[in-house]
Amino acid sequence: MNIKQIEAFVHAARSGGISAAARKLNATQPAISMRVKELERSLGAPLLDRSRRQVRLTPRGREFLESAEHILSITRDAQRRFGGGQPMTGRIRLGVTETVALTWLPELVSRINSEYPSVVVELDVDLTAGVWNKLNAGDLEVGFMPGPAQGPGLETASLGFIRYDWMASTTLDIPDRELQPKDLAAWPIITLGHESNLHDVIDIWFRHYGLRPRRIDVCNSLGVVASLTKAGLGISLLPPSILRDERDRGELRLLETAPRLDDLEFQAVYPHNAESPLVKFVTEMARHVSTFRLEPSTG
């Protein structure tokens, strides 16, 4: 019995099969299968029931799983405490929404490359629901996305707050006064798709006032939303902090609205039993490089 065998078994048990375990451990299916079979031989009992399409635990497998996870936890702790300054290696898969990608993600990747040069960073930019689904499926180690993210077995860490305001092209004849929700509902709305947190925020905001916008056009890119807004095709809820140049050039303007929406809090989300020490190191690094406000703005 060795750590690689135990690790293969735990991943197969938690992710639903040999194939998923192989992907997560960056190994071949035959290698993972062999490790589990060797573990079973050393214990003298089958741990996985392979008679069905989806691999399941045998009674002995369920009994052994808790001990196996405890062994891995002790091993990881020992590596962190007594690793002797060995360089961090491996890969970390990060899922981020586009607001993060357009703000402080480059600084984070640069910092990881500098402090952990042997670590490979794999980035997946997606809408909120996409990041969430991939995180739950075990295809990502960490997700950086709007909160609140809640669920069994999840750890979260605040990455700060970012303000979103209604914005429009300066070519649109929108009154230069404080606008109410009913005023905004008269204009076409451009926003991210239904799988985004931003779409939900807009929908809930208008429904709270019993309103339905004249039209809502969607796409899956915040950059495209901004471009369509600059072209005068509608109004959008956007983060002004990433569109300063467009405002300085007179292409976009902030719309004064009452009430304004609350700032969005972004969070780092990862499984509480995350096995790689990189997860917590990178999460803490993200908290330091994030340019989002520590507290929501007051006005």
Residues of the chain with CATH 1.10.10.10: 3-81
Is the previous residue joined to 152 through a cis bond, with omega within 30 degrees of 0?
no
Instruction: Give the pLDDT confidence of 123-157 residue by residue, as tens digits.
Output: 999 999 999 999 988 899 999 999 887 666 788 88
CB 109 within 8 A of CB 80: no
Euclidean distance between CA atoms 274 and 283, whole angstroms? 12
Average pLDDT over residues 211-223: 95
- CATH 3.40.190.10 maps onto the chain at 90-161+264-289, 165-254
Under 8 Å between Cβ of 26 and 35: no
d(CA 190, CA 97): 18
pLDDT tier, 209 (very low <50, low <70, confident <90, very high otherwise): very high
The CATH number of domain 90-161+264-289, selected from 3.40.1190.20, 3.40.190.10, 3.40.630.10, 3.40.50.261: 3.40.190.10
State in words which class domain 165-254 has.
alpha beta
107-121 pLDDT, tens digit per residue, is 999 999 988 888 999
Neighbours of 172 (CB within 10 A): 14
Q: How large a percentage of the chain has pLDDT more than 90? A: 58
**CATH number for the domain whose boundaries are 3-81:** 1.10.10.10
Tokens of 31: 């290698």
